[in-house]
Amino acid sequence: MSNRFERQSEPADGERSSMSMMRLLGQMFMLPFTVFVYGMEMFVRTMHKVQKVADDGLDLTAGGAPLHEDAQPSGKEFTSETGSIANAQRSGQRVGEPSPEKYRAVVVDAPRSSGGERPASNEIESREMEKEAEMDSDLRDDMLKLVRYKVLFVKREYEYAFPEQEDLVSENMDGAAFAAWKVAEFIQGLARGETRVPDKWRKYQGGKYVRDVQHNGVKTLVLRELPHDDKKYLRVYYQVLDRYPREKFKYEERQIEVLEEIRDGLPRKKDDDQK
């Protein structure tokens, strides 16, 4: 009888070993997919952290405050939804409510110098930004605009800013049209011999475009003209100082003046015909 029981147990052991072998083969087939999924998960986490570091760097550069969204008071990071729910229940927080640590912000000030002041570079950048924000250069309206401008010459070794001027502009134009207008006026005004230049211009083009003049007993150097190839170095810097509403056209008064002129002209024409 013992031999019969032993023969009956042999098929059960074979079936169990075959099931173990099938399970092992299945795990071997699933291993590459498991490794791939785990690798993709780690890649996504790494990309999120890199993006967060880049955003924090931009915030620090702009003077803002980076948000540390992944800050956890316990120092643990839960990747599964079940673990997050369990952690929320242990801390007494309702499930689904945003964690208060998510909105915790750390204010980081710009590095200061040894004297307790901000670096000079940050002050210069802030001043330039404020100056650009305050400077008005929009000429595209029908109002009367008081404009202050300078003509600049930017050729190397002869850089110079000509005297500042002001003008009232009533036309609706853009910056390029205004610059072209003032450059043309500047070139036309050179013939009057009133455009002064510094002494370093004495060697400009061999001195054939400049001359010495007496002004109030003082000898000064003036520019007579510019060669055609050097006109490309002219620039215009301008700023709108203020705006004023323009007066309305006086149509009725103008019509009366025209009628009066017609009336005054009719008798003279009749007398001429009689003569």
**Nearest by Cα to 242 from 98, 162, 161, 141:** 141
Phi, psi of 167 (to 5 degrees): -155, 155
> What confidence tens digit (pLDDT) does each residue in 47-59 have?
888 888 878 777 7
Note the pLDDT of residue 265: 76
Give dist(CA 169, CA 141) in Å, integer: 10
Q: Which residues pair with 21 in a beta bridge?
A: none
Identify the pLDDT of residue 31.
Answer: 79
**Segment (H or E) for 218:** strand 218-223
Q: What distance, in Å, lies between the first and last C-alpha atoms of the chain? A: 165
User: Beta 144-153 vs 160-161: how paired, if at all?
Assistant: antiparallel
* Predicted confidence (pLDDT) per residue in 229-257, tens digit: 999 999 999 999 999 998 877 767 777 88
- Contact (CB, 8 A) for 248 and 254: no
Positions of the chain with pLDDT under 70: 1-15, 61-121, 128-134, 251, 267-275
Closest CA to 226 of 213, 208, 214, 238: 208
Is there a contact between 145 and 175 (Cβ–Cβ < 8 Å)?
no
**Smallest Cα–Cα separation from 182: which of 239, 101, 132?**
239
As given in the structure block, the two tokens for residue 143 are 């109002």
pLDDT of residue 51: 82
Q: What confidence tens digit (pLDDT) does each residue in 163-201 have?
A: 999 999 999 999 999 999 999 999 999 989 889 999 999
For residue 165, give both structure tokens.
Answer: 């001027």
Q: What is the pLDDT of residue 71?
A: 44
Domain coordinates of the chain in residue numbers? 2-103, 140-244
pLDDT of residue 148: 96
